[in-house]
């Protein structure tokens, strides 16, 4: 019986090839370059619209030198504290099996802390809420990034203003069409371009600082403090625009599974941060010198000779910027499926070296429709800037709460260390959240509405899925009792080999229980198969299959596949020890269990949630196709479950 247990991190099989230090360095450099093209595109292109939105956004602030210095000081310290300290230095230490993102963080906190059921549930709900908010703002990011870049056409040639929307829609459609190539390949293609982008904005910023070095004084936090002390109302409203400078901070964490912690950290500290500091300080220097430049400080900072090249580079860079949120959405969807927050969806692994690089076609096309719809509805980056911020700052608050709990319970840090950290960042995150609530009527309602719908969907599936699992567990006996029941002489024995699939490790297949207890039959050759996915691209021949026979009629088979492999159960059964026992796998009947949900009033799930869960249950991918079962030898057995 014990041999039927599958380890998800098998140490058996072929020895791993020994890599030379040079190959590891090349891999690290490649991942670092690819991360520039995927992870940092969003936050790296925020200079196109972030500083401008302080003076031209939903709550415009009149331009005065002390406000410019106070605003850029807030930008500088927001990047430093929220991204460099909180996310890159602290939060990225918390990976859940290599994955990042608020949903993985909350699952790690709930699992690792020996928390009470109430605390575990609260942490899970916070993770679901954070994921819903991430999706809500994730729809806005590609739209605002691409629009802000294409709007450079109007600066370069005003007669091209009518082409902004069509060009933006075309560019976005093209971006979503290439997603199936995988974030690794997309990142390697985009990485060199983003390297040029960061070099360009750094040089332009440096040139403007050279002409007006007073902007460097804003590095001192006293300018941000003086702004709040002198004009607290205006400074508070400015936070709603300043948060745009950290668009992509949560996506940066969610993309950790795509490239790993190390490449992301080094790329941020060595390349991205210096370039962002220089470009924002350079824009402030320009506005101090010429207040009219606040209308579009990014493009006005560019010399006239380089306007067109910069429009083209910015457009390409913002296409790349959208990649971080898109790949982050893929990663978060995969985590939600694994944690039981979403039904089994089609998710494709796209890399043989990085397990976290995935592509979710359904999510990709849904995002494409939503993003293009936003461009057509809002029609300008200023309008979209009003919609952005509420959801992402809500995610910031949730991340701070969960990482504080995790640091105390899992990392063992004392309260006197974690509570000041939590207090500082809850003040920062809470201030941003409160400021962005002021933009609710300017489009901020949209991400909140989207997040509410996604939260409802995720919670419906989680609660419904747990109820179904509980009902099925009640119907199935423990595996120890199953052996005795299968060998019972009261059951009618049939010669046909029957293959059943265990839904989880150590759980008796419900279809087998139905056959024995409702029909009173059992196969002379009853085979229970458990299919597991390893944390490696491909399983070796040694670790592919384990066969054990606890009784004469009953055989347990564990099949293991790498995450890049497509399971093929009939093929692998035909190469197993079954043949030595006289069992012909090609003659077997494959029994697939399907749950049929019956809605009822007064159940443990609210009726609208029951409707949503039932709809998603029907959308779940067909296991017969996933396991490559022969359609003419599949027997469906259904169980009606009342929620």
- Where do the domains of the chain lie? 40-443, 469-642
Cα gap 293→157, rounded to integer Å: 17
Secondary structure (3-state) at 524: coil
Mean pLDDT of the residues in the chain: 80
pLDDT at 162: 79
Model confidence at 550, pLDDT cuts 50, 70, 90, reads: confident
pLDDT beyond 80 at 152: no
Average pLDDT over residues 337-349: 74
Cα gap 63→69, rounded to integer Å: 10
**CA 151, 206, 309, 304 torsion: positive or negative?**
positive
Cα gap 226→231, rounded to integer Å: 8
pLDDT beyond 50 at 325: yes
pLDDT at 17: 37
CATH of 40-443, one of 3.20.20.450, 1.20.1740.10, 3.40.1180.10, 3.50.50.60: 1.20.1740.10
pLDDT at 335: 73
Model confidence at 33, pLDDT cuts 50, 70, 90, reads: low
Cα gap 429→59, rounded to integer Å: 19
Which of 338-342, 611-615, 633-637 is predicted with the least confidence, judged by mean pLDDT?
Answer: 338-342
Q: Which residue has the tokens 């080094």?
A: 266
pLDDT at 536: 66
DSSP, residue by residue, 296-327: SHHHHTS-GGGHHHHHHHHHHHHHHHHHHHHH
Q: Using the 8-state DSSP alphabet, how is residue 15 labeled? A: P
Q: Using the 8-state DSSP alphabet, how is residue 81 labeled? A: I
pLDDT at 12: 32
For residue range 124-133, list pLDDT tens digits in order. 888 888 888 8
Q: Using the 8-state DSSP alphabet, how is residue 348 labeled? A: E
pLDDT beyond 80 at 196: yes
Average pLDDT over residues 245-258: 77
pLDDT beyond 80 at 197: yes
Model confidence at 633, pLDDT cuts 50, 70, 90, reads: confident
pLDDT at 211: 93
**CA 200, 202, 208, 211 torsion: positive or negative?**
negative
Average pLDDT over residues 475-489: 74
Strands 526-533 and 348-349: unpaired
Tell me which of 564 and 224 has the higher pLDDT.
Answer: 224
For residue range 103-147, list pLDDT tens digits in order. 778 878 877 656 577 788 888 888 888 888 878 777 787 887 778
Residues belonging to the chain: 643
pLDDT at 544: 83
pLDDT at 24: 42
Helix axes 361-378 and 140-150, enclosed angle (nearest 10)? 50
Average pLDDT over residues 360-389: 81
pLDDT at 349: 61
Report the run of H or E that residue 183 belongs to, with start and end.
helix 183-211
Tell me which of 72 and 318 has the higher pLDDT.
Answer: 72
pLDDT at 283: 95
pLDDT at 306: 86
For residue range 513-524, list pLDDT tens digits in order. 888 888 888 888
List CB contacts of 423: < 8 A, sequence separation 6 or more. none
Tell me which of 491 and 236 has the higher pLDDT.
Answer: 236
pLDDT at 290: 92
List CB contacts of 122: < 8 A, sequence separation 6 or more. none
Model confidence at 16, pLDDT cuts 50, 70, 90, reads: very low
Cβ-contact 312, 69 below 8 angstroms? no
DSSP, residue by residue, 458-503: HHHHHHHHHHHHHHHHHHSPPHHHHHHHHT-TTSEEESS-EEEE-S
pTM above 0.85, yes or no: no
Helix axes 164-177 and 140-150, enclosed angle (nearest 10)? 130
Cβ-contact 43, 252 below 8 angstroms? yes
Q: Averaging pLDDT over each range in 64-68, 299-303, 545-549, which range is the top one?
A: 64-68
Cα gap 87→269, rounded to integer Å: 12
pLDDT at 273: 94
pLDDT at 397: 92
pLDDT beyond 70 at 44: yes
Model confidence at 497, pLDDT cuts 50, 70, 90, reads: confident
Of 46, 87, 129, give the one whose Cα is nearest residue 448.
129
pLDDT beyond 50 at 26: no
Other residues' Cβ atoms within 10 Å of the Cβ of residue 139: 22
List CB contacts of 18: < 8 A, sequence separation 6 or more. none
pLDDT at 506: 65
């Amino acid at each position: 019986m014990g041999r039927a247990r599958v380890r998800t991190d098998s140490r058996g099989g072929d020895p791993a090839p020994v890599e030379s230090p040079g190959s590891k360095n090349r891999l690290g450099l490649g991942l670092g370059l690819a991360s520039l093209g995927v992870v940092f595109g969003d936050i790296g292109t925020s200079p196109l619209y972030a500083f401008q939105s302080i003076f031209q956004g939903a709550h415009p602030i009149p331009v005065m030198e002390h406000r410019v210095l106070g605003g850029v000081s807030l930008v500088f310290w927001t990047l430093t504290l929220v991204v460099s300290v909180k996310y890159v230095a602290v939060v990225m230490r918390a990976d859940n099996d290599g994955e990042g993102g608020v949903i993985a963080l909350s699952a790690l906190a709930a699992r690792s802390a020996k928390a009470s059921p109430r605390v575990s549930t609260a942490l899970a709900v916070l993770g679901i809420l954070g994921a819903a908010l991430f999706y809500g703002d994730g729809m806005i990011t590609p739209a605002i990034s691409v629009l802000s870049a294409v709007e450079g056409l109007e600066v370069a040639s005003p007669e091209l203003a009518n082409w902004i929307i069509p060009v933006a829609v075309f560019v976005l459609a093209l971006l979503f069409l290439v997603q199936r190539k995988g974030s690794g390949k997309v990142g390697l293609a985009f990485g060199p371009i983003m390297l040029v982008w960061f070099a360009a904005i750094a040089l332009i910023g440096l040139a403007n600082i050279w002409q007006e070095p007073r902007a460097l004084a804003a590095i001192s936090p006293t300018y941000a403090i003086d702004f709040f002390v002198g004009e607290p109302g205006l400074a508070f409203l400015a936070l709603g625009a300043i948060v745009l400078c950290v668009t992509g901070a949560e996506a940066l964490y969610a993309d950790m599974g795509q490239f790993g912690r190390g490449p992301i950290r080094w790329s941020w500290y060595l390349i991205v941060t210096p370039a962002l500091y220089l470009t924002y300080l350079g824009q402030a220097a320009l506005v101090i010198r010429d207040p009219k430049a606040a209308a579009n400080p990014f493009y006005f900072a560019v010399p006239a000779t380089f306007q067109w090249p910069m429009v083209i580079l910015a457009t390409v860079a913002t296409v790349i910027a959208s990649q971080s949120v898109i790949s982050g959405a893929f990663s978060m969807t995969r985590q939600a499926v694994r944690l039981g927050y979403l039904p089994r969806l089609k998710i494709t692994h796209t890399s043989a070296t990085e397990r976290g690089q995935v592509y979710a076609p359904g999510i990709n096309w849904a995002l494409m429709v939503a993003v293009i719809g936003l461009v057509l509805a809002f029609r300008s980056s200023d309008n979209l800037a009003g919609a952005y911020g509420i959801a992402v700052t809500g995610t910031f608050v949730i991340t701070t709460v969960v990482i504080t709990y995790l640091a105390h319970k899992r990392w063992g840090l004392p309260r006197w260390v974690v509570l000041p950290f939590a207090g500082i960042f809850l003040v920062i995150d809470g201030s941003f959240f409160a400021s962005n609530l002021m933009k609710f009527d300017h489009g901020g309602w949209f991400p909140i509405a989207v997040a509410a719908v996604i939260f409802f969907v995720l919670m419906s599936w989680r609660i419904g899925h747990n109820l179904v699992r509980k009902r099925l567990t009640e119907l199935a006996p423990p595996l120890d009792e199953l052996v005795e029941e299968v060998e019972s002489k009261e059951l009618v024995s049939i010669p046909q080999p029957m293959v059943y699939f265990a839904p989880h490790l150590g759980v008796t297949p419900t279809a087998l229980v139905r056959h024995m207890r409702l029909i009173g039959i059992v196969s002379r050759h009853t085979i229970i198969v458990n299919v597991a996915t390893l944390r490696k691209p491909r399983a070796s021949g040694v670790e592919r299959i384990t066969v054990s026979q606890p009784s004469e009629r009953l055989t347990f088979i564990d099949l293991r596949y790498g995450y890049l492999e497509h399971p093929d159960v009939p093929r692998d059964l035909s190469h197993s020890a079954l043949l030595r026992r006289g069992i012909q796998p090609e003659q077997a009947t494959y029994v697939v269990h399907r749950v049929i949900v019956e809605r009822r009033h007064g159940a443990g799930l609210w009726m609208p949630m029951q409707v949503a869960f039932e709809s998603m249950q029907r959308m779940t991918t067909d296991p017969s196709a996933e396991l490559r079962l022969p359609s003419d030898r599949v027997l469906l057995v259904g169980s009606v479950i009342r929620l």
